């Protein structure tokens, strides 16, 4: 997916975003200020950064083509997310898998340039509540969000194919008290018929940011749409003023971003439904 | 005995929007003490004179410290005994100096129609006048006998003592999303300061910086290592100043695009006698950075 998939309506909604400086201008400035014997170049300059959290259900029901397709899509997705960050944002990725246990793919968020997908296997039950608790623990300045250059609230993307097997409400309650979660951009993807959209909407806070994939083709499309769109919106600076130039609060900016994400996801999903795809529950 | 430097660079985002630089910085070195100070004007709409507020914060701090050192002998004897109380008094003195400067400026330069035109009457009435000038402040002071610092709002204070390790003696209280930084313009500003004091360690170098510098780093380790590298070059400070200015400009342009200020004071004698320790620390830091990167890229899941 690329920028040309963003519709006119979505472009209009993004009028409050600041334009990025061109890569050429940046390069010129870099050349002007770089010289060979600068000892300070040992510590690199970090651009504004954004962390994307993927919460991925790896329970037994994901076994087979669902997990195979998900692994393939995620491998393909990484270069596309790299493009999002090319201009002026450093995107970092953190992947939390949950089945009987919860496990991070890496011990800390990894810059997208260095990120390599580790193919996942499916097994066990769906400990979604435990995943929410683990996410809550890590979404802190003392843990995964400790980078000084962190400038944007995180993007949190949940993917699951079934109903939680633990008390997800308890985990969600803890998560909902976390400021990073409150201001983060949240989206969820239900995979197959068993995924419960109500649970997913509870997680994202809105039905607009929940989509469903019933086939391998849809799964690939939905993951790309959500991941790329949310990182594009999440990594843009919005002006803290409304049309009349009056100042608006940061909370309003976060709410506007979440609303925009819902609008864009629904528009893009609506334009991408393919009828000839084989559904998970019959084909797989 | 003491030496120093300070510099402020304008952020790329402020260049784009036509804002003036909201940061201010200065340093002062005397026979008995040295002060490094930076301030970051808030820059948002209701703080429309914050570039002046940050200037007044810097001036107010140096004036306050100068006043305490008018009787150096008494001050140096009493401070270690009552440092908590004296730190509170210094903070109050800085706020008082700042308020006087703001009041004087406002009296001589009433708010213009153009400044008011950006608000509705109701909105403007709600803004306390001192908020027009809102700013953070970080001040670092060292003398022959002790070292201390005071801070209100975002920003960092880094110290290198004779063991060659860069440390942040005051906890960096980076805000979560939508939290607002503390400000010298707050009505309860006196209760919002952080501070530190030590007379147990010999200081090599002391740095104060606005948050534009901190946020241009990917990790806190890199941020601290940066100060160690600068310290390793302070023996040749005149030649190194331009390199620092270039680097701050680059960080401001490619980092979070915010204004950046860095101010430093150092003890030349202790630096000269510790330079090998500092240079070794720079090399050790490079190795540790490589080890951290290798660890970072290790996958934890079964594949």
Beta bridge partners of A240: none
Q: What is the number of helices (H) and of strands (E) in chain A?
A: 10, 7
Tens-digit pLDDT profile for residues B117-154: 989 999 999 999 999 999 999 999 999 999 999 999 98
Q: Which residues of A touch B230 (CB under 8 A)?
A: 40
User: How far apart are alpha carbons A154 and A182 in whole angstroms?
Assistant: 10
- What are the C-alpha distances in Å from A14 to residues A9, A23, A36, A238, A239? 9, 21, 40, 8, 10
Confidence class for position A81, pLDDT limits 50, 70, 90:
confident
Q: What is the predicted pLDDT for the residue at B45?
A: 85
For residue A278, being part of any structural domain is answered with no
- Portion 228-267 of B in contact with A at CB < 8 A: 229-230, 232-233, 243-244, 246-247, 249-251, 253-257
Residue % of chain A over a pLDDT of 90: 38
Of A47, A97, A180, Cβ closest to residue B177? A180
Lowest pLDDT segment from A29-33, A115-119, B67-71: A29-33
Q: SS3 for B40?
A: strand
Q: What is the DSSP string of B98-163?
A: HHHHHHHHHHHSPPPHHHHTTS-HHHHHHS-GGGGG-B-EEEEEEESS-EEEEEESS-EEEEEETT
Tens-digit pLDDT profile for residues A98-112: 999 999 999 999 998
Q: What is the DSSP string of B45-65?
A: TT-TTHHHHHHHHHHHHHHHH
Of A48, A118, A150, Cβ closest to residue B301? A118
Tens-digit pLDDT profile for residues B185-243: 888 888 889 999 999 999 999 999 999 999 999 999 999 999 999 999 999 999 899 99
- pLDDT exceeds cutoff 50 at A5: no
User: How far apart are alpha carbons B185 and B160 in whole angstroms?
Assistant: 31
CB A158 within 8 A of CB A203: yes
Q: Which residues of A touch B46 (CB under 8 A)?
A: 247
Place of tokens 């301030």: B39
Q: What is the predicted pLDDT for the residue at A256?
A: 80
Q: Which residues of A touch B286 (CB under 8 A)?
A: 42
Q: What is the predicted pLDDT for the residue at A273?
A: 52
User: How far apart are alpha carbons B279 and B233 in whole angstroms?
Assistant: 9
| H or E segment and range at residue A29 | helix A23-33
| H or E segment and range at residue A13 | helix A8-13
Q: Which residues contact A122 (CB under 8 A, 6 or more apart)?
A: A58, A59, A60, A61, A62, A63, A64, A66, A67, A99
Complex ipTM? 0.81
Lowest pLDDT segment from A128-137, A261-270, B147-156, B166-175: B166-175
Residue % of chain B over a pLDDT of 90: 76
Confidence class for position A6, pLDDT limits 50, 70, 90:
very low
Neighbours of A120 (CB within 10 A): 23
Q: Which residues of A touch B176 (CB under 8 A)?
A: 141, 179-180
Q: What is the predicted pLDDT for the residue at B263?
A: 98
Mean pLDDT value of segment B49-64: 96
Q: What is the predicted pLDDT for the residue at A217?
A: 82
CA distance B230 to chain A (A): 7
Q: How many domains does chain A have?
A: 1
Q: What is the predicted pLDDT for the residue at A245?
A: 47
- pLDDT exceeds cutoff 70 at A74: yes
Q: What is the predicted pLDDT for the residue at A152?
A: 84
Mean pLDDT value of segment B281-293: 93
Torsion-angle region of residue B257: left (phi > 0), alpha (psi -120 to 50) or beta? Answer: left
Lowest pLDDT segment from A236-240, A251-255, B245-249: A236-240
Q: What is the DSSP string of A133-164?
A: HHHHHHSSTTTTT--TTB-SPPEEEEEESS--
Q: What is the predicted pLDDT for the residue at A8?
A: 44
CB contact under 8 A, A141 and B255: no
Neighbours of A15 (CB within 10 A): 9
Place of tokens 């890590």: A138
More reliable by pLDDT, A284 or B274: B274
Structure tokens at A169: 């409400």
Structure tokens at B178: 């939508």
Structure tokens at A56: 């991925």
Q: SS3 for B15?
A: helix
Q: What is the predicted pLDDT for the residue at A21?
A: 47
More reliable by pLDDT, A34 or A114: A114
- pLDDT exceeds cutoff 70 at A282: no
For residue A136, being part of any structural domain is answered with yes
More reliable by pLDDT, A255 or A157: A157
CB contact under 8 A, B299 and A106: yes
For residue A25, being part of any structural domain is answered with no
Lowest pLDDT segment from A25-34, A52-61, A162-171, A263-272: A25-34
Lowest pLDDT segment from A13-22, B35-44, B79-88: A13-22
- What are the C-alpha distances in Å from B6 to residues A78, B128, B153, B260? 42, 31, 19, 11
CB contact under 8 A, A48 and B257: yes
CB contact under 8 A, B123 and A180: no
Q: What is the predicted pLDDT for the residue at A18?
A: 40
Of B217, B286, B300, Cβ closest to residue A105? B300
Q: What is the predicted pLDDT for the residue at B68?
A: 94
CATH number, domain of A90, equals 3.40.50.410
Tell me whether residue A157 is exposed, middle or buried, using C-beta atoms within 10 angstroms of its C-beta: 0 to 12, 13 to 18, 19 or more.
buried
Q: What is the predicted pLDDT for the residue at A28?
A: 58
Mean pLDDT value of segment B109-117: 94
**Whether B110 contacts chain A with CB within 8 A:** no
More reliable by pLDDT, B190 or B265: B265
Task: List the alpha helices (DSSP H) in chain B.
Answer: 12-17, 50-68, 72-78, 83-108, 113-116, 121-126, 211-214, 220-233, 237-254, 268-296
Q: Which residues of B touch A38 (CB under 8 A)?
A: 243, 246-247
For residue A22, being part of any structural domain is answered with no
Of A106, A107, A147, Cβ closest to residue B218? A147
More reliable by pLDDT, B258 or A251: B258
For residue A284, being part of any structural domain is answered with no
CB contact under 8 A, B253 and A110: no
Nearest to B9 by CA among B265, B233, B242, B175: B242
Q: What is the predicted pLDDT for the residue at A10?
A: 38
Residue % of chain A over a pLDDT of 70: 75
Q: Which residues of B touch A26 (CB under 8 A)?
A: 253-254
Q: Which residues of A touch B217 (CB under 8 A)?
A: 43, 45-46, 148-149
CB A102 within 8 A of CB A138: no
Structure tokens at B294: 């290798």
Q: What is the predicted pLDDT for the residue at B254?
A: 82
Mean pLDDT value of segment A186-207: 90
Confidence class for position A16, pLDDT limits 50, 70, 90:
very low
CA distance B78 to chain A (A): 37
More reliable by pLDDT, A42 or A54: A54
- Chain A residue at shortest CA distance from B233: A39
Q: What is the predicted pLDDT for the residue at A243?
A: 45
What's the domain range around A220? 3-17+46-265
Q: What is the predicted pLDDT for the residue at A284?
A: 40
Nearest to B148 by CA among B63, B91, B212, B231: B91
> What value does the mean pLDDT of chain B take?
91
CB A159 within 8 A of CB A54: yes
User: How far apart are alpha carbons B79 and B71 in whole angstroms?
Assistant: 12
CB contact under 8 A, A40 and B219: no
- pLDDT exceeds cutoff 90 at A35: no
Which of A40, A124, A253 is the best residue to mutate to test the B interface, defined by the most B CB atoms within 10 Å of its own CB? A40
Of B12, B215, B229, Cβ closest to residue A40? B229
Q: Which residues of B touch A180 (CB under 8 A)?
A: 176-177
Sign of the Cα pseudo-torsion (B267, B272, B277, B281, in order): positive
Q: What is the predicted pLDDT for the residue at B102?
A: 97
Mean pLDDT value of segment B27-51: 93
Place of tokens 């003491």: B2
- Chain B residue at shortest CA distance from A35: B243
Q: What is the predicted pLDDT for the residue at A32?
A: 54
| H or E segment and range at residue A265 | helix A250-270
Which of A18, A38, A45, A89 is the best residue to mutate to test the B interface, defined by the most B CB atoms within 10 Å of its own CB? A45
- Chain A residue at shortest CA distance from B256: A48
CB A154 within 8 A of CB A145: yes
Which of A148, A180, A256 is the best residue to mutate to test the B interface, defined by the most B CB atoms within 10 Å of its own CB? A148
Nearest to A46 by CA among A90, A86, A79: A90
For residue A279, being part of any structural domain is answered with no
CB B166 within 8 A of CB B215: no
User: How far apart are alpha carbons B240 and B260 in whole angstroms?
Assistant: 18
Q: Which residues of A touch B250 (CB under 8 A)?
A: 29-30, 33-34, 45
Q: What is the predicted pLDDT for the residue at A278?
A: 57
CB contact under 8 A, A118 and B177: no
Mean pLDDT value of segment B40-50: 89
Nearest to A172 by CA among A180, A181, A162: A181
């Amino acid at each position: 997916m690329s920028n040309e998939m963003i519709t006119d309506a979505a472009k209009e909604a993004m009028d409050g975003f600041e334009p990025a400086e061109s890569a050429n201008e940046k390069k010129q400035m870099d050349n002007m200020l770089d010289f060979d014997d600068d000892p300070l170049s040992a510590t690199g300059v970090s651009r504004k950064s954004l962390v994307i959290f993927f919460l991925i259900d790896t329970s037994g029901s994901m076994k087979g083509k669902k997990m195979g397709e998900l692994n393939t899509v995620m491998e393909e997705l990484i270069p596309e997310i790299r493009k999002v960050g090319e201009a002026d944002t450093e995107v970092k990725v953190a992947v939390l898998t949950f089945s009987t246990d919860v496990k991070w793919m890496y011990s800390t968020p990894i810059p997208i340039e260095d990120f390599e997908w580790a193919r996942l296997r499916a097994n066990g039950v769906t400990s979604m509540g435990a995943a929410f608790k683990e996410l809550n623990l890590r979404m802190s300045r003392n843990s995964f969000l400790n980078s000084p250059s962190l400038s944007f609230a995180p993007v949190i993307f949940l993917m699951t194919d079934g109903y939680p097997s633990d008390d997800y409400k308890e985990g969600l309650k803890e998560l909902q008290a976390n400021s990073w979660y409150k201001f983060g951009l949240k989206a969820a993807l239900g995979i197959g018929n068993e995924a419960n959209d109500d649970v997913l909407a509870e997680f994202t806070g809105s039905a607009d940011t929940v989509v469903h994939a019933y086939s391998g083709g849809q799964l690939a499309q939905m993951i790309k749409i959500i991941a790329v769109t949310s990182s594009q919106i999440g990594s843009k600076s919005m002006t803290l003023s409304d049309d009349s130039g009056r100042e608006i609060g940061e909370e309003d900016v976060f709410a506007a971003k979440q609303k925009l994400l819902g609008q864009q996801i629904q528009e893009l999903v609506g334009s991408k439904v393919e009828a000839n795809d084989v559904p998970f529950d019959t084909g797989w | 005995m003491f030496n120093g430097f300070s510099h402020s660079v304008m952020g790329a985002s402020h260049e784009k929007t036509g804002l003036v630089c909201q940061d201010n910085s200065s340093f002062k070195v005397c026979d008995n003490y040295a002060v490094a100070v930076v301030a970051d004007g808030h820059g948002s709409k209701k703080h429309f004179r914050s570039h002046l507020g940050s200037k007044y914060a810097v001036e107010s701090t140096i004036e306050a410290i100068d006043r305490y050192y008018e009787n150096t002998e008494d001050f140096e004897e009493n401070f270690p005994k009552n440092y908590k109380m004296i730190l509170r008094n210094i903070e109050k003195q800085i706020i008082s100096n700042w308020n006087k400067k703001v009041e004087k400026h406002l009296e001589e330069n009433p708010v213009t129609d153009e400044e008011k035109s950006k608000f509705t009457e109701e909105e403007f009435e709600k803004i306390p006048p001192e908020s027009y000038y809102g700013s953070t402040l970080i001040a670092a002071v060292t003398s022959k006998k002790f070292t201390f610092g005071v801070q209100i709002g975002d920003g960092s204070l880094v110290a290198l003592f004779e063991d060659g390790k860069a440390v942040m003696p005051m906890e960096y209280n980076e805000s979560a999303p939508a939290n607002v930084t503390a400000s010298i313009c707050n009505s309860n500003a006196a209760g919002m300061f952080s501070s530190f004091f030590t007379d147990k360690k010999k200081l090599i170098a002391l740095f104060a910086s606005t948050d534009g510098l901190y946020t241009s780093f990917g990790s806190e380790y890199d941020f601290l290592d940066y100060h160690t590298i600068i310290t390793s070059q302070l023996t040749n400070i005149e030649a190194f100043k331009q390199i620092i200015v270039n680097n701050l400009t680059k960080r401001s342009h490619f980092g979070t695009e915010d204004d950046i200020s860095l101010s430093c004071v150092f003890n030349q004698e202790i630096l000269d006698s510790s330079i090998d320790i500092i240079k070794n620390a720079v090399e050790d830091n490079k190795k540790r950075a490589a080890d951290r990167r290798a660890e970072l890229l290790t996958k934890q899941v079964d594949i």
